[in-house]
Amino acid sequence: MKNAIVFCLLLVFSSIAFAEEPLDGNAKHTITFERGFFSNTFTVDGKESSEEEVERLLLYVPEANDQWSTGNILRYASWGISFAGGFCIGYGIMAGQADMEHGTFAEGRGVIIIGGAAAVIIGIIMEKVGNSKKDGAIELYNSESGKSTTAINVEVAPTPQGGIGVAFNF
């Protein structure tokens, strides 16, 4: 039993020794990113970082965080719209093929295909707008980070009447 406790303590201390300290959001940081085909690579101050770390840093600049959230919402909505449009295109083509085997081509299949193509195009445009919102959020963060602090600074200062006062700086 003693060996198991010692092993667990060593395991805990070894994980603490290699844990990275989270970044201070009030300090000046520079975020860069490289857009890939399936995923993006983010770097914070030249060190590769995860998207979650970038989102945590963006919380310190509310305008950048709002733009980032808007970009994510547009991107996720565009995926659903594009999926629905692709389904309509596929359904219209397959239903048209089935009708042609029986010697008829039902009316309305062209409208489904055209509507699906329009939905895919709208989805692609929404994806691009969402990406540009996220790009703008990173640029805004890089220009505004480190300027405002959310910490409270408390100082004891003398008053003109000869007393002592407490000064709060936000």
Report whether pLDDT(164) > 50. yes
Give the pLDDT confidence of 2-47 residue by residue, as tens digits. Answer: 787 877 666 666 655 554 545 555 678 888 888 877 778 888 888 8
State how far the Cα of 56 lies from the Cα of 125, in Å rounded to an integer.
28
Paired tokens of 27:
């300090």
What predicted TM-score, i.e. pTM, was given to this entire model? Answer: 0.65
CB atoms closer than 10 angstroms to residue 57:
23
**120 vs 17, which has greater pLDDT?**
120
| Helix pair angle (109-144, 51-58), 10° resolution | 60
Report whether pLDDT(151) > 60. no
Report whether pLDDT(134) > 70. yes
